Chains A and B, each alone.
Chain A
Amino acid sequence: MPDYDSFIESCFPHISSYNIKSPIDYKYNCIAFAANDTTKWWWPKAPYYWPPDVPEKEDLASFIACYESLGYVVCGLNSKYKKCYEKVALFVDSYGNPTHAAKQDAENKGIWKSKLGKYKDIEHTLKDISGTYNQYSYGNVAIILKRKVKRVFKINRPSFLKNWKQSFPKKKGNLLRMVISINNGIHNQVRLPAGIVS
């Protein structure tokens, strides 16, 4: 995918470095993308999707409640990357109306990602898309929320299956200690519940 998009650069004059990660897609917006949903358009107004039991009001409190319903907690304006945490930054315009959401993956070492309305989704810094240039700008970050993610381990399944009896002797109790090996070959990705592995 080409890394240069004149339309993006015209909308965000201060954008310095960005990577385009997807083509134009009308099916989802930034709010959905930050919630890891690429199948629906999220907005607190019919006929768009909004999580159940979350107030359908177009204010910052509703957006915060939306992400809190997904397990996020408010962490002020701390945008620094923290291992095993994914973050969502909510933008508001000069009137305090929510305009945009960007997300920071737990695995990407601090890179922020955004779906630009109906347009493409890009990797960027928060400063790249902040600011008020016209009435359709995203404004500035109002709040950041974070959520701990479950750890993802890569297990070399063939050797695991071959040696598991020697590697994982039976122990009393319910704890199972697993040897994690990371290879360059094909791995099977296993998501374990938090707390199983010490």
Chain B
Amino acid sequence: MREVILKEKLLTKFSRFSNFNLTQIPPYLFLRSFDHRGVVDSLEEIYWIRENVIFNLTCSPALTHRENNIAARFSQLASEVIEDCMMVSSPTKIALHPSYQEIIGMGKKALPLLIKKLDETPIFWFWACEAIAGINPVPKSHRGNIPEMVKDWKKWANTY
């Protein structure tokens, strides 16, 4: 009942959204939007709503937009690394490329993209995979054997 009352209060504030749905408001907007003087009676209600309402973040347009941005940015950075470092043998030098550092900085979000990239241009990405995953699944017997190293990483990714 209380939720219904609050929803009615929110509707007046967010009436411009035709598909208004309480569960689709991202958390960072939720608190900001909940000006307790205008919509709710007290701060306690805000906390109560946050505890009781499940936000379906996968439906959040803000999050989907962020994911698309990450893939696009990764693709751009990877292209820059490949173009600049195609003739480079030193993995250390490749890893110090600014775009490569940015890829590592993406963290675990970049890991699935890196594993996928191993099929096309394997030699570039082992360092980044290890830096992000914190593990090197390549056994000593496979050292330098690029096709086997790719298989080892894919095997690890399937169990991760």
* A interface residue numbers (CB < 8 A to B): 7, 11, 26-27, 29-32, 39-43, 45-50, 58, 97-100, 116-119, 135-136, 138
Which chain A positions have C-beta within 8 A of B59? none
Residues of chain A within 8 A of B90, CB atoms compared: 43, 58, 97-99
B92 A58 Cβ-Cβ under 8 A: yes
Q: Which residues of B contact A (CB under 8 A)?
A: 84-93, 121-123, 126, 130, 136, 138, 142-147, 149
In the complex, are the beta carbons of B144 and A7 less than 8 A apart? no
- With contacts A40-B144, A58-B92 taken as known, whether A47 is within 8 angstroms of B85 at the C-beta atoms is no
**A119 touching B146 in the complex, CB below 8 Å, given contacts A41-B123, A47-B138:** no
Q: Could you give 10 example pairs across A and B, Cβ below 8 Å?
A: A42-B144, A43-B90, A46-B143, A47-B142, A48-B144, A50-B144, A99-B89, A117-B86, A119-B87, A138-B87
Asked if A49 meets B143 with Cβ closer than 8 Å, knowing A26-B122, A26-B123, A118-B121, the reply is: yes
Other contacts beyond A48-B144, A49-B145, A58-B92: 14, CB < 8 A:
A31-B89, A40-B145, A41-B123, A43-B144, A45-B92, A47-B136, A47-B149, A48-B91, A50-B144, A97-B90, A99-B89, A117-B87, A118-B121, A136-B88
